[in-house]
Amino acid sequence: MHGAPGARASQECQVSQIGTPRHPADVSPDATGQARDAAPAKAGDRSATRVAVLGLRGFPNVQGGVESHCGQIYPRLARMSGRRFTVLARRSYMPEPATLADGLDIRPIWSVRNKHLEALLHTIWGVVFAVLVYNPELIHLHAIGPGLFTPIAKLFGKRVVVTHHGQDYNRPKWNAIGRWTLRLGEWLSVRFADRVIVVSRSVAEMLQRRHPSRASRIAYIPNGAARMPNDPDPAATLAKYDLQPHGFILSVGRLVPSKCFDDLIEAHRKSGLDAKLVIAGGADHADEYSRALVQRASDRVVFTGALRQEALSTLYANASVFVLASSHEGLPIAALEAMAAGAPTIMSDIQPNLDVELPGHHYFPLHDADALAAKLRTPCETFAVPESFSMAPYDWDRVVEQTEAVYAAALRR
């Protein structure tokens, strides 16, 4: 690939100058979850409202879109709202409790580590545990699998908010029973939750059409794009993987089938490019797919494993192009972060990616390695994010304000 994106004017993709994220003014300023301008709530003003959070593995430093979302909103919510949040994490990922802010506690509880059962078993136990130990006024369930237990939380007399992070029944790992169970979770969430947040505009509109009597309780609130923390030594990060500034293709995500990294590797091979392909992310559950994928590593295909935010910041800022080949997303946080860092961006044409509303040439047909290879051979500045594109809707502070409004509505008697 050659050329330079608009945010990197006068640079060629192979130049030696190391890039740093451009951080547009309308993007949240950091990846720590600290609100930009909100003053911390005074202890005497703190509301007695208690919120239990379930459905995620935990945070910080745990892979996953739901985990990234929660790691952004809850420190901000605790700071601005005065509510007390207890995140019931999975002990297999977060073995130690932590207090991340005044009013925000991470409390690990029992869970199995199984890609098919851990979310469901952890959530049903977590709902009971939350009621018996914390007695929250509101329970916030993340994802439609945990949403299965919305009626149980309601039977305990709790207000419930469910965030729909994507149509998980479309993930390749599920068989017919799994897909039916997740569709049931979606239906129970919409029918019984006091409010439902949906991160995809198209999915929110679909649910409102299917459930007109509940339409007013369904809110579209997108994911956001955080300003990444500065890497203290970006040159060392690039050198670790033998990368040149603006001389490699980047993709980010867990090593799961729905990310379609095998399609991307094949497209990269067909493109004939000398530029390296860098895949940043690891596998929560090592399986046949992730092991086979990593075996395709070579001088031209680099697997970094899971990275801290600082190193990821350097890769976003120095990629010639960012590619998301996924078959399933909610609203793609990794793509939003790449765009905020100034990386030219290409995505598959699944509806959640189309919901970002980049110009049409930024998209390629899902699973079409030839079409993606052709785009990879195209000058990278072709896929620069237009200057007219606003990142304002993806400001985490704005997301948090909208989420707090949903909480207030759900708690209103």
pLDDT digits (tens, 9 = 90+) for 339-380: 999 999 999 999 999 999 999 999 999 999 999 999 999 999
Beta bridge partners of 251: 279
Instruction: Provide the residue type at 411 as one letter.
Output: L
Helix/strand/coil for 84: strand
Q: Is the dihedral of CA 406, 408, 409, 413 positive or negative?
A: positive
CA distance 249 to 386: 19
Which has the closest alpha carbon to 255: 312, 208, 325?
325
- Is the Cβ–Cβ distance between 338 and 322 less than 8 Å? yes
Would you state the pLDDT for residue 22?
A: 54
Categorize the per-residue pLDDT at 236 as very low, low, confident or very high, splitting at 50, 70 and 90: very high
CA 403 to each of CA 245, 250, 406: distance values in angstroms, whole numbers, following the listed order: 38, 31, 5
Would you state the pLDDT for residue 2?
A: 41
CA 8 to each of CA 12, 319, 335, 398: distance values in angstroms, whole numbers, following the listed order: 8, 11, 18, 27
pLDDT, one tens digit per residue, over 294-314 is: 999 999 999 999 998 899 999
Cβ neighbors of 58 (< 8 A, separation 6 or more) are: 67, 87, 89, 90, 93, 94, 106, 108
CA distance 380 to 1: 6
Helix axes 65-81, 333-340, angle to 10 degrees: 70
The rounded mean pLDDT for the chain is 88
pLDDT, one tens digit per residue, over 251-284 is: 999 999 999 999 999 999 999 999 999 999 988 7
Which has the closest alpha carbon to 254: 171, 170, 363?
171
CA 163 to each of CA 53, 150, 204: distance values in angstroms, whole numbers, following the listed order: 11, 11, 11
Helix/strand/coil for 323: strand
Burial class (CB in 10 A: 0-12, 13-18, 19+), 379: middle
- Is the Cβ–Cβ distance between 55 and 80 less than 8 Å? no
Domains of the chain, earliest start first: 6-27+228-393 (3.40.50.2000), 43-223 (3.40.50.2000)
Helix/strand/coil for 86: strand
CA distance 300 to 406: 47
Is pLDDT at 316 greater than 80 in this prediction? yes
- Is the Cβ–Cβ distance between 162 and 189 less than 8 Å? yes
CA distance 315 to 37: 28
pLDDT, one tens digit per residue, over 92-127 is: 899 999 999 889 999 999 988 777 788 899 999 999
Would you state the pLDDT for residue 286?
A: 75
- Select the more confidently predicted residue: 34 or 205: 205
Instruction: Provide the residue type at 153 as one letter.
Output: A
pLDDT, one tens digit per residue, over 192-223 is: 999 999 999 999 999 999 999 999 999 999 99
Structural tokens at position 88 = 């019931």
Which has the closest alpha carbon to 241: 335, 305, 284?
305
For the whole model, what pTM was predicted?
Answer: 0.86
